Amino acid sequence: MKIAVAQRNFHQGNIPHNTAIILSSIKEARKNKAELLIVAGYALTGYPLYDLTTYDSFVYQIHNSLQQIADACQDIAFLTATPYYSDEKQLHYGVAHCFQGNIEYLGETLYPNLQPDLKHLTVKAHAISMIIGDTSASFAAIEQLTTLGNTDLLIYLSATPFDYSLPTRRIDQLTLLTKQLNTPLLFVNHIGASTDLLFEGSSMAFSAEGSLVVSAGLFQEHMFYVDSSQLHSNSYESLLIDIPDKSTLIRDALVLGIQDFFYKSGFRQAVLGLSGGLDSAVTAVLAVEALGAENVLGVMMPSQFSTEHSLIDARQLALNLQIQTELIPIESQFHAVMNSLQYVFKNKEFGITEENIQARLRGLLLMAISNKSGHIVLNSSNKSEAAVGYGTLYGDMSGSLSVLGDVYKTEVYQLAELINREKDVIPVNIIQKPPSAELSPGQKDSDSLPAYKLLDALLFQFIEESKGSDELVKDGFDPELVKRIISLVNRSEFKRFQAPPVLKVSPRTLKTDRSMPQNSSFII
Whether the bond between 48 and the residue before it is cis, its omega within 30 degrees of 0, is yes
Can you tell me the distance from the alpha carbon of 486 to that of 14, in angstroms, rounded to the nearest whole number? 42
Same domain for 438 and 489, yes or no, is yes
CA–CA distances in Å: residue 500 to residues 177, 383, 404, 515:
38, 13, 11, 15
- Of 192, 227, 243, which marks where a domain is finished? 243
Amino acid identity, residue 156?
Answer: Y
Same domain for 10 and 96, yes or no, is yes
| Overall number of domains in the chain | 2
* 3-state secondary structure (DSSP) of residue 141: helix
Give the domain CATH number at 413.
3.40.50.620
The C-alpha angle 432, 435, 438, rounded to 5 degrees, equals 125
- Residue 182 has what DSSP assignment? T
**Long-range interactions of 264-270: CB distance < 8 A, separation 24+:** 264/11, 264/12, 264/14, 264/193, 265/376, 267/374, 267/376, 268/295, 269/295, 269/296, 269/297, 269/373, 269/374, 269/375, 269/376, 270/295, 270/296, 270/297, 270/375, 270/376, 270/377, 270/378
Can you tell me the distance from the alpha carbon of 92 to that of 444, in angstroms, rounded to the nearest whole number? 55
Same domain for 222 and 358, yes or no, is no
Same domain for 68 and 131, yes or no, is yes
Do the domain assignments include residue 98?
Answer: yes
Can you tell me the distance from the alpha carbon of 51 to that of 2, in angstroms, rounded to the nearest whole number? 37
**Between the CA atoms of 511, 515, 520 and 524, what dihedral angle is there, to the nearest 10 degrees?**
-100
Same domain for 100 and 27, yes or no, is yes
Can you tell me the distance from the alpha carbon of 478 to that of 136, in angstroms, rounded to the nearest whole number? 33
Do the domain assignments include residue 524?
Answer: no
Same domain for 302 and 239, yes or no, is no
Number of H helices and E strands in the chain, helices first, is 16, 19
Same domain for 373 and 491, yes or no, is yes
Same domain for 202 and 300, yes or no, is no
Same domain for 132 and 233, yes or no, is yes
Same domain for 177 and 216, yes or no, is yes
> Which H or E run includes 516?
none
Can you tell me the distance from the alpha carbon of 524 to that of 521, in angstroms, rounded to the nearest whole number? 9
Angle between helices 409-419 and 246-265 in degrees, nearest 10: 90
- Of 243, 267, 301, which marks where a domain is finished? 243
Paired strand residues for 93: 83, 109
Alpha helix stretches (DSSP H) within 109-190: 135-142, 166-181
Q: Name the residue range of residue 42's domain.
A: 2-243
- Of 243, 266, 298, which marks where a domain is finished? 243
Do the domain assignments include residue 522?
Answer: no
Give the domain CATH number at 134.
3.60.110.10
Same domain for 386 and 283, yes or no, is yes
Do the domain assignments include residue 336?
Answer: yes
Rounded (to 5) percent helix, strand, coil in the chain? 40, 20, 40
Can you tell me the distance from the alpha carbon of 341 to that of 363, in angstroms, rounded to the nearest whole number? 19
Do the domain assignments include residue 183?
Answer: yes
Do the domain assignments include residue 507?
Answer: no
Do the domain assignments include residue 513?
Answer: no
Rg of the chain's alpha carbons, rounded to an integer? 26
Same domain for 142 and 230, yes or no, is yes
* Per-position pLDDT tens, the chain of length 524: 999 999 999 999 999 999 999 999 999 999 999 999 999 989 999 999 989 999 999 999 999 999 999 999 999 999 999 999 988 888 988 899 999 999 999 875 555 554 555 677 888 888 888 888 765 544 554 555 555 567 889 899 888 899 999 999 889 888 888 888 888 999 999 999 999 999 999 999 999 888 899 999 999 999 999 998 888 876 666 777 889 999 999 999 999 999 999 999 999 999 999 999 999 999 999 999 999 999 999 999 998 887 788 899 999 999 999 999 999 999 999 999 999 999 999 888 888 899 999 999 999 999 999 999 999 999 999 999 999 999 999 999 999 999 999 999 999 999 999 999 989 999 999 999 887 776 677 777 777 889 999 999 999 999 999 999 999 999 999 999 999 999 999 999 999 999 999 999 999 999 888 877 777 666 66
Q: What's the 3-state SS for 376-413?
A: EEEECCCHHHHHHCCCCCCCCCCCCEECCCCCCHHHHH
Do the domain assignments include residue 223?
Answer: yes
Contact 388/408 with Cβ under 8 angstroms?
no
Contact 153/229 with Cβ under 8 angstroms?
no
